[in-house]
Amino acid sequence: MHRFANPSRFLRIAKPLTPALFWPGLLLVLGACFWGLTQAPPERLQGDTVKIIFVHVPAAWLGMAGWTGIAIASIVQLVWRHPLAGISARAIAVPGALFAAICLITGSIWGKPAWGTWWVWDGRLTSMLVLFFLYLGYIALANASSEKGNVSRVAAVFGIIGAVNIPIINRSVVWWESQHQKASITLGGSAISDAYLWPLFAAAIGFSLLFGAIVLMRMRAALAEIRIEARMRRIAEN
Amino acid sequence: MTHASFVIAAFAVTGIGTVWLIASSWIAMRKSEALADDLRKRP
């Protein structure tokens, strides 16, 4: 893992990896959305609004996966003091927050025709809203850090503690009575028809690749800012 | 409102959010890397 502690070595990999993730991700997202919108049939009860799952589910997955990434990077930062761990956690925060927000908004848009209301304070929706606020708190803490591009130990601890919410989101529909449907895709199989499952699968992979490319872009920007600051300091000293 | 209006709204929110995120991340990366390279070349 410490092989990549050298930013130059990391950049040698990140530079070709960014377009390698971005372009297939973009094509998959566009293809999956077109496929889902034009080929998936209206569902018996939900009608055409079922097609919202092609953006809602990947956004929910990335909102949760993003915080899991922040928690892992925070542990790596605190335990092994890996120099890129804080930078990667910080690079995940804004994309993670945006996808958590997209999940909440698209879920709300789906809820109005399906449930007759934009919002209910049940376990799944509330725990997802808590995740969004956790992201905002993490971004504020990371921005308050004096280290350029990196995050403080307080933010790293916050990133680990906040991960408690991830299993709560996952199990919320089991633990509490919920308007939200139970998990349709589990390790044991899927309850979703193939007509929806495959475009959903393609969209989830596509959005995940895009997410990876965006995180790499933000890490590269942070590393460049660190180089700029170091250079400016040297110029000022001379 | 028809079902199509809700579907269009959900896809529009996702599209606008994703495009904004990609554009802002790409511009920040290009700007910072260009400035860092420029400073490195200066004597």
Total count of domains within chain A = 1
pLDDT at B3: 86
Quick check: is A143 in a domain? Answer: yes
pLDDT digits (tens, 9 = 90+) for A220-238: 999 999 999 888 888 888 7
Name the nearest CA neighbour of A92 among A226, A211, A224, A225. A211
Quick check: is A41 in a domain? Answer: no
Confidence of residue A6 (pLDDT cuts 50, 70, 90): confident
pLDDT of A1 > 90? The answer is no
Quick check: is A40 in a domain? Answer: no
The pTM score is 0.92
To the nearest whole angstrom, how far is the Cα of A69 from the nearest Cα of chain B?
18
Q: What's the CATH code of the domain at A96?
A: 1.20.120
Quick check: is A1 in a domain? Answer: no
The pair of three-digit structure tokens given for residue A198, joined into one six-digit string: 């495959």
Quick check: is A130 in a domain? Answer: yes
pLDDT at A148: 63
Query: What ipTM does this complex have?
Result: 0.94
Quick check: is A185 in a domain? Answer: no
Quick check: is A9 in a domain? Answer: no
Tell me the DSSP string of A120-163.
Answer: ---HHHHHHHHHHHHHHHHHHHHHH-SSTTS--HHHHHHHHHGG
Integer Cα distance of A124 and A85 in angstroms: 30
Domain that holds residue A31: 17-35+49-176+198-237
| Contact residues, B window 1-43, toward A, CB-based 8 Å cutoff | 1, 3-4, 6-7, 9-11, 13-14, 17-18, 21-22, 25-26, 28-29, 31-33, 35-36, 39-40, 42
CB A136 within 8 A of CB A88: no
Confidence of residue B25 (pLDDT cuts 50, 70, 90): very high
Quick check: is A8 in a domain? Answer: no
